[in-house]
Structure 1
Amino acid sequence: MNFIFDYVHNINRIADSNPGIIRLSMDAKAVIKVGPFSRGGYNRYGLRACDHDFQPDTLLKLFGIFIPATDEPFFYFTESHITADFIVDALEQLWPTLKEKYDPHTLVLNLDNGPENSSRRSQFMNRLVTFSQKNSVSISLAYYPPYHSKYNPVERVWGRLEQHWNGELLDKVEKILGLARTMTWKGWRPVVTFVEKTYKKGVSLTKQAMQIIENQIFRIKGIEQWAVDIPFYSD
């Protein structure tokens, strides 16, 4: 596992020192239960709240993309599922901003190898290969090894968000979005997007289709699951 961590540390260092490479730290936050809930049963205004979660009004999921080199956070909320398609759609939405501000030839993605963004997740790899060719950009996946996801920079942003809304009643989706927009991280306020699209779990490729994807990517020998390059092929 030390070899994996050393690889991630090295590729992160290269990315952060090269203006042609942008590193993105990506991860989902724990599910947010929307309702009149508060730790201990009270909020910062002294109003009585439920001290048990019971049945929430809805479940809100939050996916973040963070640029460590510039400390810019981008939040994507949904009441649907954070799937492989959701993740790459968020990246697609952010791409025009990245292209205009940085014009990178390579993206380095820091991830935690969860079930929806694993390098073995056929739909995730399929979407990333398509993204690479469509947007003329190479992609390097640099996964943190097990029990090391806390080193993924976006995790620090989640900690700041928890501090920001600690003591608030997260009882309305609109209130949660508003609180997220007023958080600050090193002078930046997050760009907050509420995604209304419904995402279906379980989308996958056949083994034959996945083999075509495998032929277009490079897995780093010895850490094949944790380090993957997706080169952009120009005509």
Structure 2
Amino acid sequence: MSLLRAFVAGVFRSARRGQWLWLPLLGLLLAVLPGCARVLDPGPAPTHLLLSPAMPGPGAGGPIHLQLAVSLPETSRMLDTDRIVLVLGGATGREVRQYAEAKWTSPAPRLVQRLLVEAFERNGRLDGAAEESAGIYPDYRLMTDLRRFNTRMGEGAAPLIEVELALRLVDLKTGRIVAFTAIGRDCPAAGSALTQVAAAFETAMGDVLARATAWSLEAMAAARS
């Protein structure tokens, strides 16, 4: 808009000096300005949803004197976004859309990575757990594939929430994968409202985090025994 004001001011300065060449351009500008305003209007900002699933409590058993680096999950292009992904057509559906009015606070892989690190911190049995980019000197790396992190709409009125992680635990001294598993949870939402969708995501993600944390700790303890 500052450029527009400068242009109009220049037109009037030219007019005062007797230079009327700009007047046809000014008329054209005034004619198209309302349409330009509509094009430049971005509309209402999308709602940002904060995902706050229940975290595991302090873990049973003694401390495990190891450090763990959690890698950024690999995923498909469909899920590598901060948009909430919606798959249409029930269990065999292939049409993918996104909620236009809502976003996660971070892209899904980054969001899941942070939640995994927090889950290990809340459990408290490890000497340390951090994102791989944090620069720690870990004993193990937890590599993950984010296979599902979406809603699915079938014939029912409410969507089904799908969350699935494939986990690979790598011993960094040998470079070997010492354990592998896949953990998933489907959770029906109570309704189609964003708050209901977010609540179902939190239920599904909370269950996945608890199981992923327990499995990783057991696998590390077994590998070092």
Normalising to structure 1: TM-score of the pair?
0.29
Greater C-alpha radius of gyration: 2
Higher relative contact order (CA 8 A, sep 6+): 1
Structure number having the greater strand percentage: 2
